[in-house]
Amino acid sequence: MRSERYKKKKSKWKVFRNIMFLVIIVIFAGAAFAYYRIQPAQHFNAGSVNILLLGSDQRPGETIGHSDTMILAHVDVNRHQVKAISIPRDTRVHLPGYGYTKLTSVQYVLQSKHGPKQGIAEAVKVISDFTGVPVDYYAETNFQGIQAMVDALGGITMNVPETVKIGSQVFQPGPHFVNGTTALALARERHSAAGGDYGRQMAQIEILKGIAKEALSPGNLPKLPSLLNSSSNYMLATNMSTSDMASLGLALKNIDPNTDVKYKQLQGTQESLYDDVLQAYNDQIVLNQQKVKKTITAFFQD
């Protein structure tokens, strides 16, 4: 009798053990497949991806804003290289149905008419049409988002490109370790920068380099999943999934921001022109759209 009960218990344990073994195999197989799926070569099968990074002046409690910063990035996932171009916020563009206005106003107008989500998608399309670059993904944050990202990483080391003054503190050109508050101030400062808004653009790209270098450092790699899961804390809008972000992180984890990130600015002439949206004259940056498309195509394909 005891022998039969023992055999039954042993049989049940064997069944349980086999089930658990099967579950473990399924879990590991699923994890391996998921890891395979986010490998850049598999995830971005075209070999490269274009991402539009937007910085909005949207404040807490608001649902729409102006595009204050626009950086178009071409990521070569095979070569592990990034080429980025800043587009001036005051660029003169034609918005169908409204007339000529500054690029910074396009997002605000379209979000006001179509709502935050559809409005940002349409604003991305306007930028894509103007530059001639198909935008695969977009990611939008605001100034508070930049501060949150830097603080989540415990601060970053960034290269300050030119002498700027923040309050009573003067930052000389060179590397500086900054917290979120200081990074935010440097991202917004243009009055004391010799290059004005162009100088601010250079500071912003250096902040992004600093964030990338810190986020992808060996010590912070284990934190990436939690950083990605908390992206809603600093991301206003994006069409990237968590797996998209994870795969992009894998593609960039071995880059050196100082050598593998190439940067270019689009520069035009500043003129006082009539703004059909604001119905007033203001300073706008005039760019030749055909030259812009040729410049970007040559830069991204080089």
Range of the domain at 116: 41-301
Residue 38: what pLDDT?
Answer: 65
The number of domains in the chain is: 2
Residue with tokens 């000529």: 100
Residue 2: what pLDDT?
Answer: 53
Pair (119, 260) in one structural domain: yes
Residue 37: what pLDDT?
Answer: 60
Pair (24, 121) in one structural domain: no
Q: Which amino acid is at 98?
A: Y
Pair (31, 101) in one structural domain: no
Tell me how far apart the alpha carbons of residues 186 and 194 are, in angstroms, rounded to a whole number: 13
Residue 133: what pLDDT?
Answer: 94
Pair (33, 83) in one structural domain: no
Pair (79, 152) in one structural domain: yes
User: H-helix or E-strand containing 184?
Assistant: helix 180-188
Tell me how far apart the alpha carbons of residues 103 and 90 are, in angstroms, rounded to a whole number: 6
Tell me how far apart the alpha carbons of residues 160 and 172 are, in angstroms, rounded to a whole number: 7
Q: Which amino acid is at 299?
A: F
Pair (87, 73) in one structural domain: yes
Pair (30, 51) in one structural domain: no
Pair (254, 168) in one structural domain: yes
Pair (117, 179) in one structural domain: yes
Pair (29, 87) in one structural domain: no
Pair (49, 112) in one structural domain: yes
Mean pLDDT by 10 residues, the chain (302 residues): 53 52 43 54 83 84 85 88 91 94 94 91 93 92 80 89 90 93 88 81 84 75 64 76 79 77 90 96 95 93 76
Residue 31: what pLDDT?
Answer: 38
Pair (20, 126) in one structural domain: no
CATH number for the domain spanning 117: value is: 3.40.630.190
Residue 95: what pLDDT?
Answer: 93
pTM of structure: 0.75
